[in-house]
Structure 1
Amino acid sequence: MTTLYGIKNCDTVRKARRWLDARGVDYRFHDLRADGLSAEQTARWCEACGWEQVLNRRGTTWRQLDGALKATADAANAPALLAEHPTLIKRPVLEHADRIRVGFNEADYSTLFGEDTPPNPPAP
């Protein structure tokens, strides 16, 4: 089962969802805010992709975090920090066929789903 983790109103998540929908990919959407997330899940992502790849330091949530929390962000405490503040996660996170992708990149998704060419645009 393919699962896309993100937040409904995130533009990058919307792009990923449109890409998956246009290709008829069967997936489940997991809203990080509404559905929550465990530290075990974020630990798995951090282990697979690297905690620095999963942690979004460019977002509003990071900028609003207490300086002491920012200073202690490391491999050991990142999973708990991400579970506590899911909007710190770089979005979307895609789990497909035992692979994890952070962020959205059309070429990467095409490779992951074995697609050589983009879909035909809809007829006008």
Structure 2
Amino acid sequence: MILYGIPTCDTCKKALKALERAGKDVSFRDIRANPLTQDEVDRIVQEFGSKAVNQQSTTYRSFNDFLKASDPEAQIMAQPTVMKRPVIQDGERWYLGWDSATEAALTS
């Protein structure tokens, strides 16, 4: 299982702790220190579409009009922290964000 996020994200920290408490073997991928490849970004956007971009974030709001009008792949490649977090890959299954449904699916 891979959790994609940034170490300062409270939601990522919460998800990581819950997964570890549940005994899951999870590796944390810091997308700032170890940027996503184009293939990884494509896969994430293929899974989640425009929902992969957090349009409420300060990062997104700081984008110029051209970047705001760009596709989600371009937005994430330009600034990885605009990606909604965490993104969790569990084998062939993908999860976006951390809510009660995701927690139940991954920790039970």
TM-score by length of 2: 0.91
Q: Which residue of 2 aligns with 1:73?
A: 70
Task: Tell me the CA shift for residue 67 of structure 1.
Answer: 1.7
The corresponding residue for 1:46 is 45
Can you give the 5+ residue segments of structure 1 that lack an aligned partner in the other structure? 116-124
Secondary structure of 2:94's aligned partner? strand
Percent sequence identity over matched residues? 34
Matched, 1:101 2:95: yes
Moved over 6 A (4+): none
Query: Who wins on radius of gyration, i.e. which is larger?
Result: 1
CA distance in 2, matches of 1:3, 1:27: 6
Which residue is 2:58 aligned to?
A: 60
Q: Quick one: distance in 1 between partners of 2:41 and 2:103?
A: 21
Q: Superposition RMSD on alpha carbons, in Å?
A: 1.3
Q: Are the equivalent residues in 2 in contact too, given 1:62–1:88 (CA < 8 A)? A: yes
What is the aligned residue count? 108
